[in-house]
């Protein structure tokens, strides 16, 4: 903070009892007022809360307001031993020096005069030296006002600063040679020095002379009759011809200042950001002058996002969330100040998500809240606080918005400790296509070769307890004979017939028609008296060629024997009509339809249809379907499901899946009966899509395994 300087001293008095003041003569200069601190456009950076700021400046009618050179010209005549027995003159002068603002850019000198004058202290800024000089004054000799004034003028000539206000404070208790005194007054006026006179006593001639000296230089005359009032008279001088200075902050009510030695100061309230202070000076003769300064108050500014937490993972169905937090300025703000300034100068808070345009958040008592829309994936959220000083502070968090991670479900079976395709006795009849169209090629190989090889390889995978049968159609007569009953059970049901099945597969060749309906109708009798779990797997590369209704035949199998028909369309190409016709056969019987375009897909399709079928439902909605033994894993949304196993009897098993968690549901059959267990493991994140049309639960009664 730069030094604050009083202007020229002016000796108007604030109504002290026992003395009276005469006003100055014609003004000697323009009234000036200036705010020194804060400087225009200054930015005050506060590190802790303060309720107000200090405003300092100066005002004067005697020239510049930033520097004051003052001489105390003190009468030390012998008469003071009588008129001021207790030496109140020194007490008053010392009190005046002590009262001047410490930061004032002020020089003070002391002249001691009686019959002669002596410069006892040249102009100095050291208050202690001035005080010592005042306390060393004696009281002897006569009174020579002219000598005192001229000695002070010489002191100004030697030590005054260019452009300073130059003031003499002349104290005496008696009269002097009037002609010489008036001549000295004229020298002072020519040098631009104001003389303020202070008279102790009742000498009327002295009053007239001192009043003329003051008026002639633009100063003022004060008459004190009681020496005990001298300290108060010195202390209450209006030193620069200025009566008052008031400050108005941001258009508020006027605030009086402390005015001493031409310097004024006081603390005023402020607001964060821009503040405009208007200083109004009023001179003793009633003139007004104003000066204004705009400054800015800045505080520590910090913004904190409290909710959601940085790094949060949002998996809710909606991606619209609230972002909330607070803006921190000072930690020690009194409650009454918070009530008056609830946001402590914080003007606004904006929220921005990624590269989207920012928008305003709600701001109340330093807390903010706003709703944001998130993009799927990573979201960078930036909250920016701006105060009225133009300061900004930012906080950022990153969170991920995505659907809940998929769960995984695997359903497996064991019988007597060995992997199994079912949890009950199961019989599967494979109905194999040997029509002439199976000579068509896929990847350079006949489809019949691929199909036979795939079925042969699958035999090694099938458990020994699976009852298996093989029926082939279209292998006995050529296409030209149009034999629509060309369907033969080559291998009947049995658990140990794998060698016979292999030999039968190797022995036939494609020749004739595709009698699907007739072949399916014959399978009913193939199962004979077996009443366990039954299924038909139909492998075909084409649709019905004999005019039969394979859909109805499949429906009859389901109705009369609870036999599902699983259909594998092999090498169909892009014919949607053929695909739709074959899919209808599977759906009519509660079976599955699968398409195979090559050897690998055919092997997978055979594997996935040989075992016991199961379905995974959420309420009445089909979410997945598979077969035991196929080692399939299904990605499903987290939640509760019912697994329907088409065993004999059917089973229903409740399972709960967690997001990004895998679950193996293991069904065990041994001599003690059927049991279940679950094992779980963590899985990586993956999107999980709803799928599958709704499917009604089977009408047959079901047993529930807990």
Structure tokens belonging to residue 259: 């005015």
3-state SS string for 363-428: EECCEEEEEEECCCEEEEEEEEEEECCCCEEEEEEEEEECCCCCEEEEEEEEECCEECCCCCCEEE
Q: What is the pLDDT of residues 291-347, one digit of tens each?
A: 999 998 888 888 999 999 999 988 776 778 999 999 988 766 666 666 666 667 788
Strands (DSSP E) found in 16-155: 19-22, 32-37, 43-45, 52-60, 68-75, 106-113, 117-124
| Domain co-membership, 309 together with 186 | no
> From CA 146, how far away is CA 7, in angstroms rounded?
25
Domain span at residue 581 reads 425-611
Residue 369, Cβ density class (10 Å: 0-12 exposed, 13-18 middle, ≥19 buried)? middle
Q: Please indicate, yes or no, if residue 291 is contained in any of the structural domains.
A: no
| Domain co-membership, 220 together with 181 | yes
pLDDT(239) > 50: yes
Q: Please indicate, yes or no, if residue 481 is contained in any of the structural domains.
A: yes
What residues contact 510, with CB distance under 8 A and at least 6 apart?
433, 434, 435, 436, 437, 438, 439, 448, 474, 475
| Domain co-membership, 618 together with 603 | no
Q: What is the pLDDT of residues 521-545, one digit of tens each?
A: 999 999 988 888 899 999 999 899 9
694: CATH: 2.60.40
| Domain co-membership, 497 together with 440 | yes
Q: Please indicate, yes or no, if residue 259 is contained in any of the structural domains.
A: no
Average pLDDT over residues 215-222: 83
| Domain co-membership, 597 together with 620 | no
> From CA 142, how far away is CA 176, in angstroms rounded?
9
pLDDT(501) > 80: yes
**Mean pLDDT score across all residues of the chain:** 85
Domain closes at, from 611, 636, 668: 611
Q: Please indicate, yes or no, if residue 43 is contained in any of the structural domains.
A: yes
> From CA 408, how far away is CA 680, in angstroms rounded?
9
pLDDT of 335? 65
pLDDT of 63? 65
Residue 440 — very low, low, confident or very high, per pLDDT cuts 50/70/90?
very high
Structure tokens belonging to residue 684: 């990586």
Q: Please indicate, yes or no, if residue 270 is contained in any of the structural domains.
A: no
Residue 10 — very low, low, confident or very high, per pLDDT cuts 50/70/90?
very low
| Domains of the chain: total | 4
pLDDT of 691? 44
Closest of 32, 36, 23, 26 to residue 61, by C-alpha: 32
Region for residue 273 given its phi and psi (left: phi exceeds 0; alpha: psi -120 to 50; beta: otherwise): left
How many degrees, rounded to 5, is the angle at CA 193 between CA 191 and CA 199?
135
322: CATH: 2.60.40.10
pLDDT of 686? 83
pLDDT(249) > 80: yes
Helix (H, G, I), strand (E, B) or coil at 358: coil
Residue 286 — very low, low, confident or very high, per pLDDT cuts 50/70/90?
confident
pLDDT of 16? 33
Average pLDDT over residues 401-425: 89
| Residue, of 413 and 238, whose pLDDT is higher | 413
Whether 410 contacts 663, CB under 8 Å: yes
Strands (DSSP E) found in 402-501: 407-415, 418-419, 426-433, 441-442, 445-446, 467-473, 487-494
| Domain co-membership, 463 together with 576 | yes
Whether 19 contacts 224, CB under 8 Å: yes
Percent of the chain with pLDDT over 70: 89
pLDDT of 230? 80
Closest of 536, 77, 7 to residue 238, by C-alpha: 7
Q: What is the pLDDT of residues 144-198, one digit of tens each?
A: 999 999 999 999 999 999 878 888 999 998 778 889 999 999 999 999 888 888 8
Note the pTM of the prediction, 2 decimals.
0.51
How many degrees, rounded to 5, is the angle at CA 327 between CA 377 and CA 384?
45
Rounded alpha-carbon distances, angstroms, from residue 609 to 261, 626, 633: 108, 8, 15
| Domain co-membership, 365 together with 347 | yes
| Domain co-membership, 363 together with 464 | no
> From CA 74, how far away is CA 111, in angstroms rounded?
6
86: CATH: 3.40.50.410
Average pLDDT over residues 26-55: 83
Q: What is the pLDDT of residues 562-588, one digit of tens each?
A: 899 999 999 887 677 788 999 999 999
Q: Please indicate, yes or no, if residue 176 is contained in any of the structural domains.
A: yes
Which DSSP helix (H) or strand (E) runs through 672? none
How many degrees, rounded to 5, is the angle at CA 487 between CA 485 and CA 493?
145
Q: Please indicate, yes or no, if residue 541 is contained in any of the structural domains.
A: yes
Whether 679 contacts 666, CB under 8 Å: yes
| Domain co-membership, 618 together with 607 | no
Q: Please indicate, yes or no, if residue 85 is contained in any of the structural domains.
A: yes
Whether 257 contacts 264, CB under 8 Å: yes
| Domain co-membership, 348 together with 462 | no
Helix (H, G, I), strand (E, B) or coil at 123: strand
pLDDT(27) > 70: no
pLDDT(64) > 70: no
pLDDT of 235? 61
pLDDT(706) > 60: no
> From CA 679, how far away is CA 674, in angstroms rounded?
17
Closest of 45, 56, 57 to residue 273, by C-alpha: 45
> Scanning the structure block, which residue is given the tokens 């001047």?
100
Q: What is the pLDDT of residues 614-670, one digit of tens each?
A: 999 999 899 998 889 888 899 999 999 999 998 888 999 999 999 889 999 999 998
Residue 360 — very low, low, confident or very high, per pLDDT cuts 50/70/90?
very high
Rounded alpha-carbon distances, angstroms, from residue 130 to 109, 123, 601: 7, 9, 111
pLDDT of 166? 87
pLDDT(244) > 50: yes
Closest of 104, 149, 109 to residue 132, by C-alpha: 109
Backbone angles phi, psi at 461, to 5 degrees: -90, -25
pLDDT of 14? 31
pLDDT of 99? 76
Q: What is the pLDDT of residues 632-643, one digit of tens each?
A: 899 999 999 999
Domain closes at, from 185, 220, 238: 238
Closest of 32, 26, 34 to residue 57, by C-alpha: 34
pLDDT of 568? 92
| Domain co-membership, 385 together with 430 | no
Domain closes at, from 586, 611, 636: 611
Strands (DSSP E) found in 136-272: 165-172, 194-200, 221-224, 237-238, 242-249, 255-256, 258-260, 263-269
| Domain co-membership, 393 together with 411 | no
């Amino acid at each position: 903070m730069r030094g604050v300087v009083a202007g020229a001293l002016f000796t108007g008095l604030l109504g002290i009892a026992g003395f009276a003041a005469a006003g100055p003569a014609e003004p000697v200069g323009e009234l000036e007022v200036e705010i020194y601190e804060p400087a225009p456009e200054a930015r005050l950076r506060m590190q802790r809360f303060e309720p107000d700021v200090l405003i300092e400046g100066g005002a004067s009618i005697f020239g510049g307001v930033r520097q004051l050179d003052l001489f105390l010209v003190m009468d030390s005549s012998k008469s003071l031993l009588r008129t001021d027995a207790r030496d109140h003159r020194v007490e008053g002068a010392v009190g005046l020096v002590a009262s001047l603002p410490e930061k004032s850019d002020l020089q003070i000198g002391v002249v001691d005069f009686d019959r002669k004058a002596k410069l006892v202290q040249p102009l100095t800024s050291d208050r202690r030296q001035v005080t010592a000089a005042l306390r060393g004054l004696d009281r002897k000799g006569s009174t020579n006002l002219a000598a005192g004034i001229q000695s002070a003028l010489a002191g100004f000539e030697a030590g005054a600063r260019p452009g300073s206000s130059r003031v003499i404070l002349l104290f005496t208790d008696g009269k002097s040679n009037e002609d010489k005194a008036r001549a000295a007054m004229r020298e002072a006026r020519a040098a631009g020095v104001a003389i303020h006179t202070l008279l102790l006593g009742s000498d009327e001639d002295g009053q007239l002379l001192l009043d003329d000296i003051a008026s002639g230089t633009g100063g003022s005359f004060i008459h004190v009759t009681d020496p005990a009032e001298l300290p108060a008279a010195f202390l209450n001088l209006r030193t620069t011809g200025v009566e008052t200075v008031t400050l108005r902050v941001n258009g508020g009510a006027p605030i009086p200042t402390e005015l001493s030695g031409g310097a004024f100061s006081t603390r005023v309230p402020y607001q964060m950001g821009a503040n405009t202070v208007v200083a109004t000076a009023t001179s003793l003769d009633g003139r007004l002058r104003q000066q204004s300064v705009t400054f800015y108050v800045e505080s520590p500014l910090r913004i904190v996002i409290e909710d959601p937490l940085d790094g949060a993972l949002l998996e809710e169905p909606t991606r619209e969330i609230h972002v909330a937090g607070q803006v921190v300025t000072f930690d020690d703000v009194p409650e009454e100040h918070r009530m008056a300034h609830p946001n402590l100068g914080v003007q606004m808070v904006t929220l921005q998500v990624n590269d989207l345009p920012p928008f305003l958040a709600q701001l109340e008592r330093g807390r903010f809240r706003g709703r944001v829309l998130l993009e799927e994936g990573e979201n960078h959220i930036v909250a920016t606080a701006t105060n009225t000083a133009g300061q900004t502070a930012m906080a950022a968090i990153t969170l991920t918005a995505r659907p809940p991670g998929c769960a995984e479900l695997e359903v497996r079976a064991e019988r007597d400790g060995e992997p199994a395709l079912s949890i009950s006795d199961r019989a599967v009849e494979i109905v194999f296509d040997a029509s002439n169209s199976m000579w068509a090629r896929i990847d350079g190989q006949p489809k019949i070769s691929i199909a036979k090889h795939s079925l042969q390889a699958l035999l090694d995978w099938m458990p020994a307890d699976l009852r298996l049968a093989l029926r082939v159609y279209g292998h006995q007569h050529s296409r030209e004979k149009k034999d629509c009953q060309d369907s033969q059970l080559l291998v009947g049901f049995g658990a140990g017939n794998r060698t016979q099945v292999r030999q039968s597969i190797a022995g036939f060749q494609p020749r004739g028609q595709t009698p699907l309906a007739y072949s399916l109708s014959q399978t009913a009798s193939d199962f004979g008296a077996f009443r366990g779990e039954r299924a038909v797997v139909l492998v075909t590369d084409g649709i019905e060629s004999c005019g039969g209704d394979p859909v109805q035949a499949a429906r009859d199998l389901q109705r009369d024997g609870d036999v599902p028909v699983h259909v594998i369309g092999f090498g169909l190409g892009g014919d949607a009509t053929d695909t739709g016709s074959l899919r209808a056969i599977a759906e009519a019987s509660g079976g599955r339809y699968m398409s195979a375009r090559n050897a690998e897909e055919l092997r997978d399709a055979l594997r996935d249809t040989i075992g016991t079928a199961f379905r995974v439902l959420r309420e009445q909605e089909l979410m997945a379907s598979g077969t035991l033994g196929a080692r399939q894993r299904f990605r499903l949304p987290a939640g509760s499901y019912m697994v329907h196993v088409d065993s004999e009897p059917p089973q229903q098993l409740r399972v709960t899946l967690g997001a990004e968690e895998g679950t193996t549901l293991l069904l065990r059959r041994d001599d003690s009966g059927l049991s279940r267990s679950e094992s779980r493991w963590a899985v990586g994140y993956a999107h999980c899509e709803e799928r599958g049309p709704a499917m009604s639960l089977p009408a047959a009664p079901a047993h529930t395994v807990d």
